[in-house]
Amino acid sequence: MSPGDGLRMGGVRVISALLRGLWRLAGVLQRLVALLLLVALLVGGAALLYRRFHPLPEAVVLDLRIHGELREQAAPPAPVLFPSDLPVAGQTAIPDIVRALDRAAADPRIRAVWLDVETMEPVPLARIDAVAEAIDRFRSSGKPVVAYGASFSTAQYLLATSADRIVLHPTGVVALAGPAVLRHYFKSALDRLSLRATVVRAGRYKSFAEPVTREGMSDAAREAARAWLEEWWRQIKRRIAARRGIDAQRMQHLLDHPRKLAVLSHGDLAALARRERLVDLLGDRRDARRLLQRLLHRDAPLPWVESAEYLAATDRDAGGDGPTVALIRASGEIVPGKQPVSAIGARTLTDLIERAARDDSIAAVVLRIDSPGGSATAAETIHRALLRLKRRGKPLVVSMGGVAASGGYWIASAADEIWARPATLTGSIGVFALIPDLSPALEQAGIHLDGVQTTALLPIRGDRPLDAGQRALLEAGVAHIYDLFLQRVAEGRHLPRAQVERLAQGRVWSGVDALRLHLVDHLGGLGQAIAAAARRVGAHGDHYRVRTLHPEEEMWQRLAGRLLGRVAAALPTPPREVEWLLRLLWNGPWRAALSPDPRGIYAYAEL
């Protein structure tokens, strides 16, 4: 053996030993991580069991923290060691908040509510209404509510106006502004990158895909957006005027003349908010808690309990007598197949609908919809399942959340009765297809497509432009799906086809306008929709049961979901610039092309 061979063999042995050492280290780390996870699960389970069964003090303040996005869809049920009251990172479930407030209103141990909205994200006005109404019901029991914020965004402030007192930090600001629709338009950027897209739409106002075909908003899209935005703004001004005693015209004048705001405040926007009666007190968190203490006429502060902990400690099986109304929640974008609670999976939702149809103990169904739409095929699949439910003799009532538009309205049109909030965005009866075309960019990069085909018609693919035959088929398909959408609405709402065509064209309507146009039947919240469903099966007063149906999950999926939620909550929040960029990329119109639909035809609302 030469010296070189010896060196090579020595090197191989060193590398081999190093790899074996790394492998053993990986095994040790794997076992360590598994042990830590097991310990975390056991400790977390013990803590949650303590929370669930530990008695509450005789006098306590309910700590209501609205974190992240207010969402309609609550987490699915879990085993006793991992109850569903574990918070999900970046969101707060509206049903949990409403349940805690309604339960606390009748609980003599709960003396007041502390409302913390500092980390609440912007949400549709109708979602704020749902929580605000629950706060109003709590206040009607004679117990005070105090809201505190270092600063308030418009959404945060609108919810804070439900409180008896609002406290703002002395250096804070009430960043009140009217609602707006501002979209990014990418046509020039796509042209520079040699990218393009084919868009086929049905409906004059169906503007979801405009950002990839235009440099700015079309006149039709501007007209439709202005209508519901102005209705929202009227509702916001009325709410603030009624709750805070502020003149709506003065509010409009100040917000239309920001220079006057600067002069009036001398830069002290907190003092201006106090002078204009937007808030009651300027102070820090300690000052706000002292105010709450004074409202309770107590010298010593009371203990606090978070809303999730309160629910865990007071959960009981639903009581009452009378018929059972099943509540099914449909929140998120509509997609085919099975999906978690963050989206409406056609198979997941139809399984729930069919379970309700087969269950003889269920007399009626309420479907709560909060969705901008999605796959047209998935929406029709769900619609058919709802029609089968009704053929079983079970009334169907739809309750709309913040948004029930496009595919969301397609589903809703199957109902016997539709309830919406005044600020609900609905309608958007229209469809479109968005087909990306990467061929110019590929050609520019020197990548050419060639081959042999046996028929003139080929499947649509993103690396070649549509030929005349493909485009004709796509246009015919979009027209057919739009025609089916119009038919479903006409049949479900018992309206003449011509009238539906005038209301359609992809236009979005507010709940107020939808009621006037007979697209919905009543204005009201989920509780009113449930009561209406109960009345349809002969219930008197509140003599009925409500049972929420959840998708069936394997235990490992439940545990993994809870654990991942806790891990996500522990991770640092990304910088706002990064978050903005991610939202920009995801909220673009191309997300429709990324969502699976067998025909590539979508019913999305342009919000």
Cα–Cα dist 50/291, whole Å: 31
Sequence-ordered list of residues with C-beta below 8 angstroms from that of 262, at least 6 positions apart, any chain: none
406, 413, 439, 595: the catalytic one is 406
Sequence-ordered list of residues with C-beta below 8 angstroms from that of 281, at least 6 positions apart, any chain: 165, 166, 167, 168, 274, 287, 288, 291
Tell me the pairing of strands 165-168 and 281-282: parallel
Amino acid at 207: S
Partners of 602 in beta bridges: 375, 432
Cα–Cα dist 426/301, whole Å: 46
Of 237, 215, 203, residue with least CA distance to 508 = 203
Locate 492 and state its tokens: 């479900």
Active site residue 406: yes
* CA distance to 96, 387, 407, 594, per residue, from 347 (Å): 26, 15, 15, 19
Active site residue 206: yes
| Residues in the chain, overall count | 607
* CA distance to 101, 168, 266, 530, 607, per residue, from 106 (Å): 9, 29, 46, 20, 39
Locate 533 and state its tokens: 């469903």
Residue 140 Rama label (left phi>0; alpha psi -120 to 50; beta): alpha
408, 520 contact by CB (below 8 A)? no
* CA distance to 51, 111, 238, 303, per residue, from 57 (Å): 13, 11, 39, 8
Three-state SS letters, 151-169:
CEEHHHHHHHCCCCEEEEC
153, 162, 206, 394: the catalytic one is 206
Residue 370: alpha-carbon gap to chain centroid: 7
By annotation, the residues acting in catalysis are 206, 406
